Structure 1
Amino acid sequence: MQRMGMVIGIKPDKIAAYKQLHAAVWPDVLAQIRSSNIRNYTIFLREPENLLFGYWEYHGSDFAADMTKMAQDPRTQAWWQHTDPCQSPLTSRKDGEQWAMMAEVFHTD
């Protein structure tokens, strides 16, 4: 299992809509997340900085392949059509990233 963290900005005027979307995530999207070997997926909001922090545990063996499969899923693409306009990607993110991936520097059980 690999713990993964990521961060992205959120547009202040879109916070309510983003919360509303995530109060009722589409079942097909949740199924795709599970089939992509992601568990314990959590998104936190930090105001007033307007940052979203995402955390998940990856239980697969080929992260790139699983993320490609997720990105090709039509229902996930439709979901992103609703969520992406709410977000403000960081300028420091790597090419191809929406959310900027973070390096784990500490963990304790």
Structure 2
Amino acid sequence: MQRMGMVIGIDPASIVQYKALHTAVWPQVLATLKAANIRNYTIFLREPENLLFSYWEYYGKNFEADMAQIAADRMTQKWWAVCGPCQLPLASRGDGEHWATMEEVFH
């Protein structure tokens, strides 16, 4: 199992909408995450800095293939189209990243 943490900004004007969306995540999106070996996916909000921190545990053996499976899912693409405009990617994120990955320094 691999623990993963990521961070992204959020538009302050979108916080209420973002919270509402995440009170009822679409079932197919959740099923796709599960099929891609993602467990314990959690998102935290930090105000007044307006940062989202996400954590998940990856239980698979081929991370790139599992992430490609998620990205190819049409319902997940629609979910991202709804949630994406709420998010403000960090300037310091890596190439190809939307959420900036974080280094685990303690567990």
Q: Distance in 2 between matches of 1:23 and 1:15?
A: 12
Q: Give the number of aligned pairs.
A: 107
Q: Distance in 1 between matches of 2:22 and 2:100?
A: 20
Root-mean-square deviation over aligned CA pairs:
0.4
Which letter does structure 2 place at the counterpart of 1:91? Answer: A
Segments of 5+ residues of structure 1 without an aligned counterpart are none
| TM-score of the aligned structures, taking structure 2 as reference length | 0.99
Identity of aligned residues (%): 67
Post-superposition Cα deviations, 1:36-88, rounded to whole Å, max 9, x if no partner, equal: 10000000000000000000000000111100110010000000000000000
Q: Distance in 2 between matches of 1:68 and 1:94?
A: 18
Moved over 3 A (4+): none
Say yes or no: does 1:44 pair with 2:63.
no
Q: CA deviation at 1:95?
A: 1.3
Matched residue, 2:95: 95
Matched residue, 2:34: 34
Segments of 5+ residues of structure 2 without an aligned counterpart are none
Where 2:104 maps in the other structure, the secondary structure is coil
Say yes or no: does 1:73 pair with 2:73.
yes
